[in-house]
Amino acid sequence: QHLNKSYNTDVPLVLMNSFNTDDDTKKILQKYSHSRVKIYTFNQSRYPRINKETLLPIAKDVSYSGENTECWYPPGHGDIYASFYNSGLLDNLIGEGKEYIFVSNIDNLGATVDLYILNHLMNPPNGKRCEFVMEVTNKTRADVKGGTLTQYENKLRLVEIAQVPKAHVDEFKSVSKFKIFNTNNLWIALSAIKRLQEKNAIDMEIIVNPKTLDGGLNVIQLETAVGAAIKSFENSLGINVPRSRFLPVKTTSDLLLVMSNLYSLNAGSLTMSEKREFPTVPLVKLGSSFTKVQDYLRRFESIPDMLELDHLTVSGDVTFGKNVSLKGTVIIIANHGDRIDIPAGALLENKIVSGNLRILDH
């Protein structure tokens, strides 16, 4: 909305749903029917889960209801190319004169339209346009599982941890050997997607994802990753971007960081507070009592001040009163059966709080 207003333009928002998220998304989008953004949705494919022993689909028929619900899965974000093409939306956008899509994971709150990258796409220094740009960023010890870029037979390739033989996993995780990882912020030429899709020429490695269903049945899901298609496009490029463009919220530990005073929301972009002395985020590990959003929200009367926090570990039945400040390294561990209530207004700086609310210097 901010982009369209600032540049008097009409950039649409496109959401790829699965059959699991489609209805919920439609409900939420009703709120935004009058916003200055055209919002399109399309659904990705529905694939049958495969019995690990027999290698046959576990579905009895193609219906998606009742006991058959568990039989299907969405096959990963690599499915975007085929589903976008099949939905008819790709052709519509090309017909409107659109040239590139910017793709990102929906949980990456750092993914915003970067005009420097867009300018590089439209006015390449060597005169040859890129069909595919992957934003990568420097790896820290917190990102050892992220996919990395390699060059093979004069093409860029994405290598994911799932593709690495066990004997080489530690080498793959090395911060000094593989210095960057894929943020999954991608800029892709629409005409190239159409060309490759029509030739059936998008080649992505298949990731075998073993799962155990609630009833104990072992199944496998075959999935693909959107970035793996980089080798099928011409003149691909990796661009090293600041860490601020990678801010995923996958857990309540991540959510705590973005809800805190470390960040403020400016015109749809999260920016880190200037009051924080160094630009890295604290390491936060909230225990299993905080896993579900409703439990997490119930345990914080207000979000603590975290501007000077380096590390927070919380385990067990812990609640936080209003206006708590956390600084340095704070470790709070409630023993099984005990509960710890951090009182309103408390300042914990380099403290270990354990069992029966003894507060020790760290």
Question: Annotated catalytic sites, by residue?
Answer: 250
Strand pairing category for 263-266 and 269-272 = antiparallel
DSSP E strand stretches across 88-230: 100-103, 132-138, 148-152, 155-159, 180-189, 207-212, 218-223
Dihedral Cα 89, 93, 96, 100, nearest 10 deg: 180
Task: List the end-to-end C-alpha distance of the chain, in Å, as a whole number.
Answer: 46
Nearest to 110 by CA among 36, 184, 188, 39: 184
The amino acid sitting at 339 is R
Specify the residue for token string 């939306």.
Answer: 89
φ/ψ of 51, rounded to 5, equals: -65, 125
Residues in Cβ contact with 315 at an 8 Å cutoff, skipping those fewer than 6 apart: 287, 332, 333, 334
DSSP H or E segment with residue 195: helix 190-198
Dihedral Cα 85, 86, 89, 90, nearest 10 deg: 10
- Separation between Cα atoms, residue 308 and residue 321, nearest integer Å: 19
